[in-house]
Structure 1
Amino acid sequence: MRFRLGGKGEAVGSISQAGTVDRLVVSENADSSTAARSISTTVGFCGSQPLAEARAAARAYLSQVQGVHGIPVSERVMDMVQLVVSELVTNSRKYAPGPCLLEMTTNEGSVVVSVWDTDPTLPTALAPDPGRVGQHGLEIVMSVCHSFEVRRQPVGKLIRATITLADDPNGHPAGYLL
């Protein structure tokens, strides 16, 4: 399947379900020519690939942001980003019939986690219910993010969650809601 994501840092590539090749790093860039440096990576998922790979991609990306680019990332923020990635990619793999793309971009003190999939149906958070088992993923994501948005695309939808990199004095990320 071929895909194209438009805009700055356009990613173009293909994902094949043939054999065991079902993960493809599409683009990785760091723009140091501007004062507000932007670092991003995009990973494609298809087939029945383990969700652990999405979490590992998030950890590897944030480790690079910290180690190579010198932007501090606390362990709490690292865990938070992995949680958001896990929830969004799980929903995509569970409800969308085709591949999904995970993009992580760091700029101006935040990590933006974007997940695109082929299903045009927009997700909705269920009313809080402590007795409900499961289906709390979107509630969790929305509660730990600084901002959250969902948009239909010409094909499918894009879900974008922004997580603040800096922890506050109480040890919580700045976007964390108690």
Structure 2
Amino acid sequence: MAVSVLFEAGAEIGEARDIARDFLRSVRAERGVAVSAQATDLVQLVVSELVTNARKYAPGACLLDLVFRDGAVQVGVWDSSSTLPSVRGRDPHRVGQHGLELVRAVCRSFRAHREGAGKRITALVQLADDPGTGNPAPSRQAP
């Protein structure tokens, strides 16, 4: 199950979050997959951060891909800039620029690579909750 949406310059980030929420509703309805409110919030956060970065740092359109497989949603965002993002380390004193740090913390995997005339950022968000905490399964990445 997948959806792809092209956002032209000036697109609203809220629209991308709405598409993610509607996609998860479809996953729930069509595949019978339990998707918690917290997992929905995390997917919307990841979509929001990645589309925001594409709008902020790359000229022109960006492409949002959402793919459901193996109990997770793969969020992919392509944009026209070939410059790979710099994921900064934790710094509680830094104001701003924590988006990719947050994305990496809540995702099972994160990847940035050049693709065509631009780059693609891909993040995988687990939908199943950890039975011990009720939270989506933790990230498998090093801090």
TM-score, with length taken from structure 2 = 0.94
Query: In the alignment, which of 62, 66, 71 is matched to residue 109 of structure 1?
Result: 71
Q: Deviations over 1:59-109 (max 9, x none)?
A: 000001101221111111000000000000000000000100000000111
Q: How many Å apart are 1:130 and its aligned residue? A: 0.7
**Matched residues in 2 for 1:147 and 1:117: separation?**
19
Q: How many Å apart are 1:57 and its aligned residue? A: 0.4
**Matched residues in 2 for 1:122 and 1:76: separation?**
29
Counterpart of 1:68 in 2: which secondary structure?
Answer: helix
Query: In the alignment, which of 89, 94, 108 is matched to residue 132 of structure 1?
Result: 94
Q: Which runs of 4+ in 1 moved over 2 A?
A: 175-178
Residue equivalent to 1:163: 125
Q: How many Å apart are 1:124 and its aligned residue? A: 1.1
Residue equivalent to 1:174: 137
- The structure with the largest strand share of the pair is 1
Query: In the alignment, which of 59, 63, 85 is matched to residue 123 of structure 1?
Result: 85
- The structure with the largest helix share of the pair is 2
Q: How many residues end up aligned between the 2 structures?
A: 140
Identity among equivalent pairs (%):
50
Q: How does 1:1-178 map to 2 (within 5 A)?
A: 39-169=1-131, 170-176=133-139
Q: Deviations over 1:123-145 (max 9, x none)?
A: 01112111111100000000000
Q: How many Å apart are 1:114 and its aligned residue? A: 0.3
TM-score, with length taken from structure 1 = 0.76
- If asked which structure has higher relative contact order (CA below 8 Å, sep 6+), I would say 2
